[in-house]
Amino acid sequence: MAIRTIDVAAIRKDFPIFETGLAYLDSANTSQRPKQVTGAMLEYFEKFNSNIHRAAYRIAEEATVRYEATREKVRAFINAASTKEIVYTRGTTEAINLVAYAWGRKNIKKDDLIVLTIIDHHSNIVPWQILAAANGARIEYVDIDGKGELLQDQFADLLRQGPKLVAFNLVSNALGTINPAREMVAAAKKAGATVLVDGAQSTPHQPVDVRALGCDFYAFSGHKMLGPTGAGILYGRRELLEAMDPFQSGGDMIKTVRVEGTTYHDLPWKFEAGTQAIAEVIGLGAAVDYLDGLGMDAVRAHELDITEYAYEALSEVEGLTVYGPPPSRRAGVISFSLDGIHPHDLATIADRDQVCLRAGHHCAMPLMTRLGVPATARASFYVYTLREEVDRLVGSIKEAQRIFA
């Protein structure tokens, strides 16, 4: 079968924001959204705006059908066994907090070990720190080598201590490192751990198969994969979700409420209390359709091409240091620093050329400390990124070097 390719010039027409001449190199932060996504949301607002699961009139039925349709789209997209395993959340952060609260409080006990990594995002660190402090558990972090790749020997050593939970990101948001997740999950499961994979940076950029991955939980956000903010997913293996207590409670997550007590709704609605982000979930469904239309193999192939191009272009700039592994083992993310120029100054100068660049600690302060830098500049790419946008970035870098010469 021929490998599909992405016609970038053609699909950019789906993204009105590019008409302004913007070179958007911050998709690891949040992606842009095509008209198909905003259109699906607008259609809801203008044609069948109503609450779901509650009303017997036609537009409410339409809203409910479209809202629930996203669940099947997402299930197929990540190859989960059942839509009961697909829980809507506000995003990755809420998904991980849900697990820390509803699974963690019950299952993590005094002196239990939680294994995280030094390249995890704050959203996959802080909820576990809070849980560990509350329940008296301890946390160990897997370190990285000089290329920004996890020390698998150290990971194996930690697994021998019998951790209760192992949580790590499939792709590092700060370095772009693609972790050998399948091997890591298999080893962690063999060691008896429950495994959560943070898929915030992997789901938008490469094919994902949670059953092949073998993890217990998998979390990701819609807004990094062409969808709107406010809609994300927690995948959880059914038996784990069944055994868990609710997270937030209130309307819609119940079966019966009596003054003596309450019985909870079936999966996945047990975890979806209150009126949900209906338009956003519908938008996420449209984003999944859009990515399916492109093909995730094609998405990854395009990003690899852009990343190789950018890696080479940036490596040629004098006084520029690139962090992390070579392009073949990294997603479309390049963190770097410039001698004598702070990332914020570079970002300000790039902004004047309409080049959107991230500068800061990327919500990965333990990693910045580990690298010994206060902050880095970061360029990240997606389905719509052109080589000439990378060229414009290089132009901004040279302009910054001229100003600071």
Partner 1 sequence: MATADDQFYREYIIDHFKNPRNYGRLEHPDISHEEDNPLCGDVVGMDFRVKEGVIEEIRFHGRGCAISQASASLLTERLKGMSLDEAKKINKDDVLGELGIDISPARIKCALLSLKVLKVGAYGLADVDEE
What is the 3-class SS of 269-291, one letter each residue? Answer: HHHCCCCCCHHHHHHHHHHHHHH
Q: Taking CB under 8 A as the rule, does residue 342 contact partner 1?
A: yes
Is residue 332 within 8 Å of 299, Cβ to Cβ?
Answer: no
- Cβ 374 to partner 1, closest distance in Å? 2
> Which single residue is written with the structure tokens 């963690």?
104
Beta bridge partners of 337: 321
Q: Which of 186, 191, 298, 365 binds partner 1 (CB under 8 A)?
A: 365
Near partner 1 by CB under 8 A, which window of 23-31, 75-83, 242-250, 339-347?
339-347
Token digits of residue 54: 């509650």
One-letter identity of residue 294: L
Q: Taking CB under 8 A as the rule, does residue 405 contact partner 1?
A: yes
- 3-state SS class at 333: strand
- Cβ 175 to partner 1, closest distance in Å? 17
Q: Taking CB under 8 A as the rule, does residue 375 contact partner 1?
A: yes
Q: Which of 118, 125, 360, 396 binds partner 1 (CB under 8 A)?
A: 360
Counting runs of H as helices and runs of E as strands, what totals does the chain give? 15, 15
Q: Taking CB under 8 A as the rule, does residue 368 contact partner 1?
A: yes
Catalytic-labelled residue, pool 28, 278, 363, 390: 363
Total of residues contacting partner 1 (CB under 8 A): 21
Q: Which of 373, 386, 394, 395 binds partner 1 (CB under 8 A)?
A: 373
Beta bridge partners of 144: 150
Near partner 1 by CB under 8 A, which window of 82-90, 138-146, 267-275, 340-348?
340-348
- Cβ 336 to partner 1, closest distance in Å? 15
What is the 3-class SS of 362-394, one letter each residue? Answer: CCCHHHHHHHCCCCEEEEECCCCCCHHHHHHHH
- CA-CA distance, 131 to 128, in Å (whole number)? 5
- Cβ 183 to partner 1, closest distance in Å? 34
Chain centroid to CA 340: how far? 32
Q: Taking CB under 8 A as the rule, does residue 372 contact partner 1?
A: no
Query: What ranges make up the beta strands (E) of 19-98?
Result: 23-24, 86-89
Task: Please say if 215 is a catalytic residue.
Answer: no
Instruction: Please identify every residue annotated as catalytic.
Output: 363
The residues binding partner 1 (CB under 8 A) are 340, 342-345, 348-349, 352, 359-361, 365, 368, 373-375, 399, 402-405
